[in-house]
Structure formats: structure tokens, C-alpha cells
A = this chain, B = another copy of it.
């Protein structure tokens, strides 16, 4: 039979990039391609201990359905962390717990995107968000980045140009961006908030990495600068606990939060109670703060190793940034070099990265760029992998 698929999936296919990425998963390849935390640093003893504790303390609740909004004590814990660490004046009521931040993106898509709407995105931008927006049949207006982050004057041009189109929100990863590692400067953030106010724009601030700062000065979150209830903040424990938990959240103004909850109810009823209780205790008992300290030292050293090796072995014609945190850095090859071609050569040398074009919404852009992850591979592998790459350049 020919199933009567919805339009949103008829043209959908496994992206070229995901096919390429399958090649990076062979065990003998040094991979700078994925966005994985270093599993050697997973707090597995803590998970083991805590999961036993929460089951023994209250198995009736940890194994039962929970409310759609999420476990209240976890919501309070998340609000507290946002207040203390990110200076966000957020109450537990504004928080909805999600199955990873990716689900928060899915709920945002459901609540805001009509077919044909123009979503404002960064170019390059986070692939998982772009996939979600595409699934909801959005069009895109891409805003370029420079070393200060989102080029806000380009955003303003776009808002003028798309004055009459429905443009549901701007999606941004302002700190240690995926894929570029770039952090939006304070000036740009201020300008962005002004523009948002002038054009009545909703901002979706996705912030998975800000706890992972290795150098430089903290920059305030957009959420902390929001006095008009226009920022929907997305958070995750994937990088500061473990991705296999699938624990994320959104913090949103009351009206939006309510819509997100109604959408989540029809999406998966609730996030796993066992995962929520374990995550709560992990935060409350101070394990998260210790874990962040541990992985910051680990990833800082890896970043430095990668940059040092690149400084030593890469030709001067190749540009790259020096991110102050997160998990990624961004390469720019001389014009005319296609990083997809380079990727295939690299795979033969048993080293992998992600060709930058994957992160652009417009075909043909970013052909001479690449994303490198420095959190997953060991330091030895980083040195060896970068040397191998350098032989291709």
C-alpha cells in the first residue's frame, strides 16, 4: 500500500549529513564529529546511589505517572539554579520539565509554528532545532554570526523585510553556540533585546552550554535581561549530568508556559518520574555542582590541547576561533575548499568532523567551514586526530 503520509514528511528524508555521520561511528575513527560528553566523566556511581535512594524513599511516586508540568521539587530546584547561577528571576511555576531540551524545541514548534511561517535562525545554527522547525513546515530567515555573535543589524533588516509575514520567534544559542562555539557579546545582547521590544519578537534562548565556561567573563542570559516576558528559555541536564537521562526544561512566561503544557500533555503525558526524581536529588545533594567543576577542568584541558595542536600543525590559511566554553570550535578553510570533500578524505585517515554546510538553511552556504567537537575524544586522540587532519590541508 501507499500510506497517506502528511505533507510535512513526504519530502523528509535522512539528511545527507546524518548519513555521513554514520561513517564517524566506526570504533577505530577519532571523532570530532558528534556532540557527545566524555563518558569517562559520567557520574555513574551517583546515579546508581541516587536511583536506589529515590526508589526506596518513594517508589509509589517514582514509578507512577506524574503531572505534565513536572515534579514540583525538581521545578523549584531548576528555578533556584537559574536564579543563582544565571541571574534569571524565574519561579518554579514558569518551568515545564521536558524529555531533553529537544522536546522543549518540539513543544515550541507546536505552540508557535504554522505551515509557511518564517522562523528567524542563526546561520550556522543548531541542526536539531532546524529539523524540528522544518517538520512543522517553517520557512527560514537566516542571520549570520561574526565573532560577536548574531549580527543584530541583519536581524533588524530581516524584521523590516518580513514585516507582514508571520515570524513566530527568533531561535538562538547565544552562549558557546552549537555549532560555532561563538558567544554573543553583551552589546549585541542589549541590541537584540531592544530590537525584540521594538518589533514585538519572541526569543527562544537555548542555553545548554553556559555552565561550561573555561575562560573569559560571564555574559548575562537573554532571559535575565527580559523585562517584557518575551524570552522562552530552554535548559538541559545533558551536558552537566548525562544525556542518557533525557532531562530538559523550558522556562516561559505564564501564558506561553500553559500552552507548552497543553502541547506536552498530548505529546507524551509526562517525563519519566524516575528520571525526574533522580535529577532532583542529583541537583539538591550537590552532585551537579561537583560534576560541573570536574568536567570544566577536563574540557578546558581538551580545548587547549586541540587549539595548541592546531596552532602547531595547521597552515596559516585556515582560520579557527578560540571558544571560551562549550564543546565546539569552528574552522574556516580558504574559499573554494569543500569540507564535504575533505570529510571523505579525513574518514580514510580515520578522523572525522562535521562539514559546516550541514548547519546552514540555505543550500551552498558554509561549504568551506567545519565543526570540531573537543569534549568526546581523549587528549591523545585529539593530538593524533588534529595531526592527521593537518596532513590533508
Contacts and interface: CB of A to CB of B under 8 A. Distances in A.
A63 B242 contact: yes
A263 B136 CA distance: 10
A341 interface: no
Interface string A163-189: 000111100000000000000000000
A362 interface: no
The 7 closest A-B pairs by CB, nearest first: A244-B273, A44-B59, A63-B242, A131-B266, A63-B244, A39-B60, A246-B272
* Identical copies in the complex: 2
Contacts of A66: 244
B6 A242 contact: no
Interface string A22-57: 000000000000001101101010011001100110
Given A64-B244, A102-B266, A245-B272, 4 more contacts: A1-B229, A9-B259, A267-B267, A272-B275
Contact of A246 (B42, B238, B242, B268): B268
B1 A268 contact: no
A258 B61 CA distance: 35
A114 interface: yes
Given A268-B106, A272-B275, A228 B1 contact: yes
A36 B65 contact: yes
Contact of A111 (B6, B42, B51, B169): B6
Interface string A1-18: 111111111001110001
State the main secondary structure of chain A at its contact with B.
Answer: helix
A12 B132 contact: no
Given A55-B44, A112-B3, A244-B64, A100 B268 contact: yes
Contacts of A13: 262
Contacts of A5: 111-112, 259
Contacts of A256: 3
Contacts of A251: none
A113 B6 contact: yes
A56 B48 contact: yes
Interface in A235-274: 238, 242-246, 255-256, 258-259, 262-263, 265-274
Nearest to A167: B4
Contacts of A167: 4
A316 B363 CA distance: 71
A52 B63 CA distance: 16
Interface string A111-140: 111110100000000001001101110000
Contacts of A3: 112, 202, 255-256
A275 B7 CA distance: 33
